[in-house]
Amino acid sequence: GAGVSQSPSNKVTEKGKDVELRCDPISGHTALYWYRQRLGQGLEFLIYFQGNSAPDKSGLPSDRFSAERTGESVSTLTIQRTQQEDSAVYLCASSRTGWEGEQYFGPGTRLTVT
Amino acid sequence: DAKTTQPPSMDCAEGRAANLPCNHSTISGNEYVYWYRQIHSQGPQYIIHGLKNNETNEMASLIITEDRKSSTLILPHATLRDTAVYYCIVRVHGSSNTGKLIFGQGTTLQVKP
């Protein structure tokens, strides 16, 4: 079946502009996660959605970052007033529930802030 | 979640078994051991997980020591396509868990012809 998809695959933006990244999880997966991976670094957790529960936003690095999820489907990650340090690959993952740790990752969106 | 320690890099000859170690000496009784890998320029891929029994699937085997303080991921016949960064992660299951995975630096496995 279809895996996790993300769009766009690449995004180049000027410093100070807002960007919106999209994630389509696997159908039926109630849990959705956003991670960030800077060049040569490991993954950093950003935010987690589980069903209708309040999201875990503990990984968001600043109030310029926000995310929404419509029910148990699409999620968008918004970065306002982008900075050069926001340049990274943004990865989305989904899982059947948040109970277990088997997560399925999308290909990521490579964001470059110039 | 408990901290894990992995060697930064390993080499393996193509066709031979790759044995990737992981130390998790502070693991608690309700924490599972998960393995993921990340091939260059791709998102991480789930490989296998276990609690205390050894596990095997079509990708790999997971051997967990009796005291659960360490584990080994075994790729029985490594191919060039197995070249990747391998991450060992320990994580509880349960409603109190936020769901996130905490990735360390992992082991870069280089499979050589």
Q: What is the pLDDT of residue B1?
A: 62
Three-state DSSP class for residue B104: coil
Chain A residues within an 8 Å CB radius of B107: none
What pLDDT score was predicted for residue A1?
A: 57
User: pLDDT per residue over A15-63, tens digit each?
Assistant: 999 999 999 999 989 999 999 999 988 899 999 998 888 889 999 999 9
B-chain residue closest to A56, CA distance: B98
Touching check for A58 and chain B: CB below 8 Å?
yes
The pLDDT value given to residue B73? 98
Total H helices, total E strands in chain B: 0, 9
The pLDDT of residue A15: 97
Which of A45, A101, A108 lies at the smallest CB-CB distance from B43?
A108
A95 in contact with B, Cβ within 8 Å: yes
Say how far apart CA A56 and CA A77 lie, in whole Å. Answer: 14
CA–CA dist A46, A66 (Å, integer): 9
Interface test with B, best of A103, A104, A109, A110 (most B CBs within 10 A): A103
Q: What's the pLDDT score for residue B101? A: 85
The terminus-to-terminus CA distance of chain B in angstroms comes to 37
Is residue B103 classed as helix, strand or coil in its secondary structure?
A: coil
The conformation of residue A55, written as its DSSP 8-state character, comes to: P
pLDDT tier for residue B94 given thresholds of 50, 70 and 90: low
B108 — pLDDT class (breaks 50, 70, 90): very high
Mean pLDDT of B6-21: 97
CB pairs under 8 A between A and B: 61
- Judging by DSSP bridges, how do beta strands A75-79 and B61-64 pair with one another? unpaired
pLDDT confidence of residue B58: 95
CA distance A15 to chain B (A): 24
Q: What residues form DSSP beta bridges with A66?
A: A78
Query: How many CB atoms are located within 10 Å of the residue B9 CB?
Result: 11
Predicted pLDDT at B98: 65
Reported as a pLDDT band with limits 50, 70 and 90, residue B35 is very high
Nearest to A14 by CA among A63, A64, A80, A82: A82
Q: Which two tokens stand for residue A69?
A: 């999820």
Identify from B9, B37, B100 which residue to disrupt to test chain A contact, counting A C-beta atoms within 10 A and taking the largest count: B100
Give the number of other Cβ atoms within 10 Å of residue B38's Cβ: 21
